[in-house]
Amino acid sequence: MNRVAFSIFGIDIMWYGILIAIGMMLAIVISSREAKRVGFDENSVVDLSIFLLPLSIIGARLYYVIFNWDLYSQDLSQIINTRGGGLAIHGGIIVGIIVTFLYTKLKKINFLKFSDVIVLGLPLAQAIGRWGNFINQEAHGGPTDLPWGIIVEGQKVHPTFLYESIWNVMIFALIFYKRKNKEYDGQLLAYYLVLYSLGRFFIEGLRTDSLMLGPLRVAQVISLLGIACGLIVHLILKKRGKDGI
């Protein structure tokens, strides 16, 4: 497929960017409705998004650049050339959590309760965004003979974008169902951290374009940390049986 959806005044608009934007907007709509349901001002989600979305994209870019520094150190101007590719979701998630925490402190609202609202639409947004990898013919796995493999440069490979997209839809379905009978605030965040990290750990092992730190795949290391953090949050808050940290 052509990576370019259309052009405006000579500027190419990429399908990847369109899909990411669609995912983000859908996540905002879902989280806004959830905010209203649990007693927050639904506009609080939009207010947060004004800062959260651009800062998360910057975080995703910086994360990618840091672990590809040998490449970008040769031409620093390429650091801001996001149109050339290079966003890492883990960087966006980390920055997103930090920004949400600071926002809740500023507004004096419960971080854990609000984080459950914000995280609700995230896996669905990720599921949609992953199809941009299919259009770009990137983020795929190694060779496979499985019937659902896709052809990239004449070779049949694992469609890891599809694996992660399906996994994220399943996560969304679970936390969307769980949202009305939570045991504690922060539970959806904990579930997301554990489940997304678990799926990403195994899917990353199939990919051929992993960011590396020596012999280690960075995404797998971060995924293990995400699983540990999610489990710790779950165990502590469930034991306390009350809101807040």
Question: pLDDT tens digits, residue range 125-156?
Answer: 999 999 999 998 999 999 999 999 999 999 99
Would you say 100 and 113 are in contact if contact means Cβ atoms under 8 Å apart? no
For residue 181, pLDDT over 70 is answered with: yes
DSSP 146: -
Tell me the whole-structure pTM to 2 decimals: 0.93
Q: What mean pLDDT comes out for the span 154-171?
A: 97
Would you say 72 and 65 are in contact if contact means Cβ atoms under 8 Å apart? yes
For residue 12, pLDDT over 60 is answered with: yes
Query: So what's the pLDDT on residue 204?
Result: 97
Q: To the nearest whole percent, how much of the chain has pLDDT over 90?
A: 78
Q: Tokens 């060779």 appear where?
A: 143
What is the distance between the alpha carbons of residues 28 and 198, in angstroms, rounded to a whole number?
A: 25
73 vs 107 pLDDT, higher one: 107
Tokens of 43: 């506009």
Q: What mean pLDDT comes out for the span 48-64?
A: 95
- Which residues, 6+ apart, have CB-to-CB distance to 27 below 8 Å? 120, 121, 122, 124, 125
Query: So what's the pLDDT on residue 84?
Result: 64
What is the distance between the alpha carbons of residues 221 and 213, in angstroms, rounded to a whole number?
A: 9
What is the distance between the alpha carbons of residues 104 and 102, in angstroms, rounded to a whole number?
A: 6
